[in-house]
Amino acid sequence: MSSELVPSIDLAGLVAAFRQTDAALAAQATKAVNISLTLRNWCFGFYMAEFEQNGTDRAQYGARLVDEVSARLSQAGLAGVAPRSLRLYRQFYQTYPSIWQTPSAETLKALLPQAIWQTLSAKSASPAHAAVPAQQLIERLSFSHLAELLQLDDSMQRSFYEAEALRGNWSVRELKRQMATQYYQRTSLSTDKTAIAALAHAGAEKTQSSQIIRDPYVFEFLGLKPQEVMSEGHLEDALLDKLQAFLLELGHGFCFEARQKRLAIGGEHFFVDLVFYHRVLKCHVLIELKNDAFKHENLGQLNAYVSYYKQHHMTEGDQPPIGILLCTRKNTELVQYALADMSNQLFVSRYQVQLPGKDEMAAFLHKAVEELRGGDE
């Protein structure tokens, strides 16, 4: 190679060139691996869904099909094929059928029989609202992002978080945080949607008591009014402002006692969000409202409050108090382990907010998607 083709650099410059090249190609390799993993999982989901519909011997496995496939794939040395993962891949394929039409999926056509592509063509469908281009999803979001998005049943919510995650370049952790704090709901209830988006991106990274505690609570009775910017704190305020309707939603027998009830424990002050007395169960009911997904430490806090009430506020004829933790999302398995061996009666429920019509959110989403499409040009 001619020395004229190599610029004159010192040793520091040489090391810098090594580092820059390594970083650039490592990022390129990471992106390629992520796309391949996403496409693999999508294909696995397609196989599962199609076999369940058309497999010649599917009937003999019935409900055991996923477990049987998982066991055989594991024996063959494949990774990421636990039954739960296979169900997720199936849901991924069913939720994002258009991925087969992306340029990235062209590589699959050389691997898969032509009959598969004909099947996929027959099943293509267009969403009822603006949708983020599938190519951007698989290029810029990891499968971990997509797995979080699959937890959303509402397609518009899912498209909203897709667009916002891409616009903000959110990590998986940030996406989970924004979903848990109901960014979509707060945006829908805000009149200035651009302002709340700017804030979000700037901050980015025995009647049997079990029968009475209904899950999920639907807070449509709140009658939430659009505000310029709906903050997380507004939810609790709206809940308490509509306390009478809240009691009706909770069920028969709840009598309001206190809001932000102060407890003095060991020289420190703590506050219970809501305290009720249930006249049927003959016990106090302590409620903690969290504008976030369930965390196991929330139960420790609530358990301490319930234990304090049991010792200091129970009177003759009372049953032990009950604690209810209301959160935006809950991992049922984690809740089960967190509740294990706790002597107090604690319950975890998720709540939902009934939103206004979707027209404004559809317009906001359309604008966001158009911005993303413009970035491809």
Q: Residue 2 — very low, low, confident or very high, per pLDDT cuts 50/70/90? A: very low
Q: How far apart are CA 123 and CA 134, in angstroms?
A: 16
Whether the Cβ atoms of residue 353 and residue 222 lie closer than 8 Å to each other:
yes
* Most trustworthy range by pLDDT among 61-70, 270-279, 305-314, 342-351: 305-314
Mean pLDDT of 352-361: 62
What's residue 305's pLDDT? 93
User: What letter represents residue 365's amino acid?
Assistant: L
Shared domain for 76 and 22, answered yes or no, is: yes
Shared domain for 215 and 274, answered yes or no, is: yes
Domain that holds residue 162: 126-189+357-377
What's residue 228's pLDDT? 55
* pLDDT over 80 at 143, yes or no: yes
Look at residue 234 and tell me if it is in a domain. yes
Q: How far apart are CA 141 and CA 178, in angstroms?
A: 15
For the record, the structure tokens of 220 come out as 């449509």
Look at residue 2 and tell me if it is in a domain. no
**Which helix (H) or strand (E) element contains residue 302?**
helix 296-312
Q: How far apart are CA 256 and CA 253, in angstroms?
A: 10
Query: DSSP characters for 319-368?
Result: PPPEEEEEESB--HHHHHHHHTT--SEEEEEEEE-----SHHHHHHHHHH
The residue assigned the tokens 């293509």 is 124
Q: How far apart are CA 104 and CA 31, in angstroms?
A: 12
pTM of the model: 0.63
Whether the Cβ atoms of residue 288 and residue 302 lie closer than 8 Å to each other:
yes
Radius of gyration, alpha carbons of the chain: 26
The CA-based angle 220-225-229, given to 5 degrees, is: 120
What are the phi and psi torsion angles at 118 (to 5°)? -65, -40
Shared domain for 27 and 150, answered yes or no, is: no
Shared domain for 158 and 229, answered yes or no, is: no
User: What letter represents residue 150's amino acid?
Assistant: L
Q: What are the residues whose beta carbons fall under 8 Å from the beta carbon of 16, sequence distance 6 or more? A: none
What's residue 72's pLDDT? 92
**How many distinct structural domains can be found in the chain?**
3
Give the other-Cβ count within 10 Å of 213's Cβ: 18
Q: Is the pLDDT higher at 46 or at 216?
A: 46
pLDDT tens, 302-318?
Answer: 999 999 999 999 888 88
DSSP state of 227: B
Strand segments, DSSP code E, in 4-100 are: none
Q: How far apart are CA 240 and CA 273, in angstroms?
A: 10
What's residue 142's pLDDT? 86
Look at residue 51 and tell me if it is in a domain. yes
Shared domain for 232 and 297, answered yes or no, is: yes
181 CA to centre of own chain? 10
pLDDT tens, 265-289?
Answer: 888 889 998 888 888 888 898 988 8
Q: How far apart are CA 373 and CA 377, in angstroms?
A: 7
Q: How far is CA 282 from CA 127, 212, 259, 311, in A?
A: 51, 13, 20, 16
Shared domain for 52 and 177, answered yes or no, is: no
Shared domain for 255 and 348, answered yes or no, is: yes
Shared domain for 114 and 35, answered yes or no, is: yes
Shared domain for 214 and 345, answered yes or no, is: yes
Shared domain for 345 and 324, answered yes or no, is: yes
Shared domain for 42 and 58, answered yes or no, is: yes
Q: Which ranges constitute the DSSP H helices of the chain?
A: 11-54, 65-75, 83-95, 106-109, 114-122, 134-140, 143-149, 155-168, 172-180, 183-188, 193-202, 209-212, 233-241, 243-250, 296-312, 332-339, 359-376
